[in-house]
Structure 1
Amino acid sequence: MAESAVLQALETRAPDSVVLVGRERSWTATEVLAEAHGLAGRLAPGRVVGVLADNGPAWVVADLACQVAGAVHLPLPEFFNTGQLRHVLEQSGADTVITAHPERIGAIDLGFSVVGRWQGLHWMRRVTDPVVLPQGTAKISFTSGSTGTPKGVCLGLAGLHDTAAALCERLGALPLQRHLAVLPLALLLENVAGVYAPILRGMQVHLLPQSDMGWQGMSGFDPARLAAAIERERADSVVLVPELLKAWVMFVGAAAGTARHQPAFVAVGGARVAPELLAAARAAGIPACQGYGLTEAGSVVALNIPGDDGEGVGRPLPHLDCRVEAGELHVRACAFLGYVGVAAGADGPGGDWFPTGDLARFDAHGHLHLDGRCKNLLITSYGRNISPEWVESALLAAPAILQAVVCGDGEARLAAIVVPRPGAAAAEVRLAVQRVNRALPEYARIGRLVLSEPFHPANGLATGNGRPRRAHILEKHSAALAAAHHDHEVSHHVVL
């Protein structure tokens, strides 16, 4: 097991310096280290330790305890359904789970039983045969992806800390003292960029329950709660997905003239961000910068920063290598060790190059630009190649549209499945699409429109970081798309 750079950073901090700030109390460096080492002693029998809990200091301490004990940490997203949790626990060979939801683990019927409590969480154990994992695996990040069956990415500790250190270097000139974790900690992006990097830099990490951040499950997201948390915690940095940024920008616009605290840096990733949204954010005083990452690279790959910004996703971080082959981005990073249950390929782990599946190019300034996913590329019946992400970003720039998926492979006209902003009427959405169409070339315009319920991890229509699961969305709305197929202008079939 590699030395933990995060633990070493804590050991060099002033003993009474505040490291973690929760809803109930703050944790000093001494307290975090003591609790992590104490928990590590209890983890000694465990090989793979799952953590299924809301954001909070206990989640981070459990992560650090796995590093102390040399156990494999298995973050379990709370939005995973029962089938996904079963798959993850079986595939990983998890023998320990620390959770706020013992009933969910018990209902899976894999032999877990409660054996104790720790920091208000339940401690569950089972006896099971070990699963062979790549040498050096410290964390398994299961991503629901676009297919719905979680895929376990095995990651090495040194590679994750390389990413965190590279982020510290890239953001070194910014005045950052307090990071507020908005995304679930079970997402690798928040885990690395929102916990490891701030600790390496000597910052405080503020960890509040997801409901305090505005997350409302199937009901959507409340930007007022996010704004209140940023104000209350005096956050200097946050990480968001585009949907959350858009909601926050609209809230700030509605509350124009109100004095408020603004972070020094807002990173936005997980999906393509429309230039119009970034411009609107900055006009509202939100210093939003787009980035790009993937789990196999240890999270963040490229990032814009104030003063070195553009319409792309920024310069690649210095700890990895990127190149474009036949239009596809390939990355080389040492974090990726392989997949659970899949033999390593020649182009996979161990610091070798691997294809990302993203269409990409570099500009003259060395900034990376993404043009969509290779597998999502649409070819119309007129032979025009269209990246749906391009058209979707134009739709998402419209205030009336919250989420959008564009389809139409092999067809004469594109279709859009759109989630309206709460309170927006169908007629308002239709007008928004018509305005977007006027700014697009004729071959990329939307000819069919279907309104949908929100895309959420909880209903299976989005991944954990908010990326739409296209196949599931298209399947759910196949009938409405077919009904709209014969319309001659933008329709507004409503499917809720």
Structure 2
Amino acid sequence: MSTSSPVTRIRDHATVRPHAVALRDKHLGVWREYTWEDYWEQVQLAGHAYLALGLEPGDRVAIHAENRPEWLIADMGALAARAASVGVYPTNPAAEVGYLLGDSGAKVILAEDQEQVDKTFEVLDQAPDLRKVVYLEPRGIRNRYDHELLMPWEDFLELGREHRDAHPDAIAATMDAAEPEDLATLIYTSGTTGPPKGAMLSIANVEFAIRILAEEGAFTDPPPGPDDLLLSYLPLSHVAERIFTTWFNASAGTQVNFAESAETVPANLREVQPTVLFGVPRIWEKLLAGVEIRLSGASWFKRKVAAYWLKVADRLGHQLVANGGAHTARTRLVYGIGYVVFYRALKDRLGMRKVRYAASGAAPIAPEVLRFFMGIGVPMHEVYGMTENTAVATANRPGRIRLGTVGEAHPGVEVRIDEATGEILTRHPGVFVGYWRKPEATAEVLGADGWLRTGDVGEWVEGTHLKITDRMKDIIITAGGKNISPSMIENELKASPYVREAIVVGDGRKYLTALIGIELDTVGEWAQRKQLGFSTYKDLTAKPEVVELISGVVKDVNTRLAQVEQVKEFRLLPKELDHEDGELTATQKVKRSAIAQMFDDTVSEMYARSSS
């Protein structure tokens, strides 16, 4: 009997309900459906194709594409062939692609289009193990490139079909030989402080995550099932999206709908109306900012109605927070009236009318943002996990929410805080095998006793709920010896719809300053209402009125902070931070060291000016 894994679960769904819809994507403006039978058929063909290319157990397959059915097919096909997938972010520049291919030793890469193929060819000298470059979109490739490594997706599947005809039992035999200790995937960390490291997750790690998060319903109540709809839009190279898209789908039989692009997510949300929705803080902040923009452009009457019911929602949010996220008879009645009058239409516009469970994770989020969505009737929960523990650690559960915390430990999960350093440690069967080819780095975070050092600093709230105060490496120690958590201050600033990025500075200094990036959409719309002309992002940030607008945000936040935590000076970033420029990681986390170096003169000027 084969080891249980996501791919065996897909096979089981195809056997039990072959004609039910597993995946949907949009092709030429029309939603295209893949039944479980279709999905399993293509997974088998991909697995046979890998075997035909000579892949052996433990070999790696890189996937460099946006979210789409082929991503999952290539991933699960690799697992069927006992190979391991390596996700490459679509935004990774060529240099990072070369590093990932070289470090992982990938033998096959799935490249979405000409842009990704070009990146691969640019770094072929760094990928000596590469045997095939399988591309999905032929435009610009088929008639212009002639290279022995290139193979279109259709030919790749045909190779698998030919191999299956010649060796019909090969994939079944390979799956039967799989072991729980087999490498399922290499997920590379963000690389905020250095080159990314490949976290090795075994089949056993993944199956533990499936059992805790999907089957036992540690997130949702009831657990996810075939009636649940999900929208896949965050990069599948990230462990959180892999859980909600790939592993929930394989285990619980949820239907996955792929967003067309990052730009179409709001429209796709409205079309799909998912029942389970996961987002990183940036997504929730962006959606909230979008509400502000739409309302500012509405008629006088609609603005008045919205203002009233949003005030009611704010009160509801506070009352829900005080009651652990559960309604009282009174709040349910008030919300019911508001739902008919306003909230239903707003949630429908946001694509959240049917959401029964929503989660934010992967980075800290301002409590005000969570409270807004709770108030309008979106059941929000902050959750916590990381690549190195297969994203299994803690979660706020329905009816037991504590705002500002990441919730309680999941069943079967040990969580403790180091008494000396305040660092959060976790231990359970989902803790990763280690970093790929980096035993020293593994030893730094994973003890012989199985405890994983997360690098996060935290504290207990009411003895049950975990609160993360910051990353250990990000804690600021001022010249006066005060320990400051910059992320808490940054989140307060980013709760404003006008602020996209905030980087608090002050290590070794007498006080704190900040570099702030504006939210172009909301500040641009505000400027138009004020009849302020501008041509570029940089031009907009140079407007004295915009500086004054953000100054108001900073002053408001300062009123809620202790004296030592207050931001004394700030400057607006003259550009939007970008992954390709090395300022953000692929998961949109700020690279503080890069920012400090890039804007060193600006920071120095703030301190020089303030002390003069």
Tell me if TM exceeds 0.5.
yes
1:482 equivalenced with 2:604 (yes/no)? yes
Distance 1:244 1:347, change over 3 A: closer
Equivalent residue, structure 2, for 1:372? 470
- Cα deviation, residue 135, structure 1: 6.2
Please tell me whether the aligned partners of residues 45 and 157 of structure 2 are also in contact (alpha carbons under 8 angstroms). no
Which of the numbers 125, 130, 155 marks the counterpart of 2:201? Answer: 155
Equivalent residue, structure 2, for 1:316? 409
Give CA deviations for 1:299-342 in whole Å, capped at 9, x if unaligned: 24222233221120111222432111121111123341111221
Q: 2: distance between equivalents of 1:347 and 1:485?
A: 36
Which of the numbers 257, 267, 271 marks the counterpart of 1:232? Answer: 271
- Cα deviation, residue 281, structure 1: 2.3
Equivalent residue, structure 1, for 2:228? 177
- Cα deviation, residue 166, structure 1: 1.4
What is the SS of the residue equivalent to 1:485?
A: helix
Please tell me whether the aligned partners of residues 93 and 119 of structure 2 are also in contact (alpha carbons under 8 angstroms). no
Which of the numbers 392, 398, 415 marks the counterpart of 2:490? Answer: 392
1:208 equivalenced with 2:253 (yes/no)? no
Distance 1:351 1:57, change over 3 A: farther
Please tell me whether the aligned partners of residues 46 and 157 of structure 2 are also in contact (alpha carbons under 8 angstroms). no
Which of the numbers 350, 353, 367 marks the counterpart of 2:451? Answer: 353
- The residue type equivalent to 1:184 in the other structure is P
- The residue type equivalent to 2:470 in the other structure is G
Q: 1: distance between equivalents of 2:236 and 2:246?
A: 8
Please tell me whether the aligned partners of residues 61 and 85 of structure 2 are also in contact (alpha carbons under 8 angstroms). yes
Q: 1: distance between equivalents of 2:509 and 2:606?
A: 13
Which of the numbers 390, 395, 399 marks the counterpart of 1:307? Answer: 399
1:28-427 alignment runs, 5 A limit:
28-44=35-51, 45-46=54-55, 47-100=59-112, 101-110=116-125, 112=130, 113-118=148-153, 136-168=182-214, 169-170=217-218, 171-173=220-222, 177-209=228-260, 211=261, 213-214=262-263, 225-253=264-292, 254-255=294-295, 257=342, 258-259=345-346, 260=348, 261-262=351-352, 263-311=355-403, 312-326=405-419, 327-335=422-430, 336-343=432-439, 344-345=442-443, 348=446, 352-364=450-462, 366-422=464-520, 423-424=522-523, 425-427=546-548
Please tell me whether the aligned partners of residues 413 and 447 of structure 1 are also in contact (alpha carbons under 8 angstroms). yes
> 1 or 2, which has the higher helix percentage?
2
Distance 1:486 1:156, change over 3 A: same
- Cα deviation, residue 479, structure 1: 0.7
Distance 1:274 1:346, change over 3 A: closer
Equivalent residue, structure 2, for 1:126? none
Q: 1: distance between equivalents of 2:119 and 2:252?
A: 36
Distance 1:317 1:351, change over 3 A: farther
Equivalent residue, structure 2, for 1:222? none
Q: 2: distance between equivalents of 1:249 and 1:264?
A: 19
Give CA deviations for 1:379-429 in whole Å, capped at 9, x if unaligned: 112221111111111111122211111110111110111111215222211
- Cα deviation, residue 27, structure 1: 0.9
Q: Which runs of 5+ in 2 are unaligned?
A: 131-147, 159-179, 296-305, 307-341, 524-545
Please tell me whether the aligned partners of residues 58 and 119 of structure 1 are also in contact (alpha carbons under 8 angstroms). no
- Cα deviation, residue 348, structure 1: 2.2
- Cα deviation, residue 56, structure 1: 0.4
Distance 1:426 1:120, change over 3 A: farther
Q: 2: distance between equivalents of 1:469 and 1:102?
A: 27
What is the SS of the residue equivalent to 2:7?
A: helix
Give CA deviations for 1:320-371 in whole Å, capped at 9, x if unaligned: 3211112111112334111122125386278811211111122235211111
Bigger drift between 153-162 and 58-67 goes to 153-162
Please tell me whether the aligned partners of residues 237 and 265 of structure 1 are also in contact (alpha carbons under 8 angstroms). yes
Distance 1:119 1:367, change over 3 A: farther
Give CA deviations for 1:200-229 in whole Å, capped at 9, x if unaligned: 1221011123x2x42xxxxxxxxxx43321
- Cα deviation, residue 378, structure 1: 1.0
Taking every aligned residue pair, what percent have the same amino acid on both sides? 24
Q: 1: distance between equivalents of 2:93 and 2:517?
A: 22
> 1 or 2, which has the higher strand percentage?
1
1:431 equivalenced with 2:552 (yes/no)? yes
Q: Which runs of 5+ in 1 are unaligned?
A: 124-133, 215-224, 492-496
- The residue type equivalent to 1:69 in the other structure is A
- The residue type equivalent to 2:6 in the other structure is V
Equivalent residue, structure 1, for 2:18? 15
Give CA deviations for 1:40-98 in whole Å, capped at 9, x if unaligned: 01112222111111110110111110111000111111121222111111111111111
Please tell me whether the aligned partners of residues 43 and 77 of structure 2 are also in contact (alpha carbons under 8 angstroms). yes
Q: 2: distance between equivalents of 1:456 and 1:161?
A: 35
- Cα deviation, residue 487, structure 1: 3.0
- TM score, norm. by length of structure 1: 0.88
Q: 2: distance between equivalents of 1:120 and 1:157?
A: 29
Q: 2: distance between equivalents of 1:29 and 1:4?
A: 18
Please tell me whether the aligned partners of residues 361 and 369 of structure 1 are also in contact (alpha carbons under 8 angstroms). yes
Distance 1:331 1:484, change over 3 A: same
Q: 2: distance between equivalents of 1:478 and 1:135?
A: 47
- Cα deviation, residue 28, structure 1: 0.9
Distance 1:120 1:166, change over 3 A: farther
- Cα deviation, residue 122, structure 1: 11
1:449 equivalenced with 2:544 (yes/no)? no
Q: 2: distance between equivalents of 1:309 and 1:283?
A: 14
What is the SS of the residue equivalent to 2:371?
A: helix
The structure with the largest alpha-carbon Rg is: 2
Please tell me whether the aligned partners of residues 181 and 203 of structure 2 are also in contact (alpha carbons under 8 angstroms). no
Please tell me whether the aligned partners of residues 22 and 254 of structure 2 are also in contact (alpha carbons under 8 angstroms). yes
What is the SS of the residue equivalent to 1:483?
A: helix
Distance 1:121 1:76, change over 3 A: farther
Equivalent residue, structure 1, for 2:533? none
What is the SS of the residue equivalent to 2:443?
A: coil
What is the SS of the residue equivalent to 1:345?
A: helix
Distance 1:418 1:4, change over 3 A: farther
